[in-house]
Amino acid sequence: MGFAIHPALIVLCVMLGAALMVTCGAGVHRMYGVRVEDRAHMVRSVEQESYMREVRDRNLEGLMHEGRRSHFKHPRPPVNRG
């Protein structure tokens, strides 16, 4: 019985898949696996916190405005119950 894909190609695909998984794991660890003593560079300044709060409020106001506008954009026609 022959293989549909050459065995060397299967091994290569498995190796590439494993390399991709290791790379993804390293990325996740880099993003979320920070030690407690290394968090000093993650401390935000008061100005940055204020700016981020302002941007969140602005985005929330925009979303609320879009939500209100969508309710009045397409009024329903009256139902004729004969």
Burial of 60: CB neighbours in 10 Å, binned 0-12, 13-18, 19+ = exposed
Q: Per-residue confidence of the chain (82 residues) as pLDDT tens digits?
A: 678 999 999 999 999 999 999 999 999 998 887 666 666 667 889 999 999 999 999 999 988 888 877 666 555 666 676 5
Backbone dihedral region of 45: left (phi > 0), alpha (psi from -120 to 50 degrees) or beta? beta
User: pTM (2 decimals)?
Assistant: 0.40
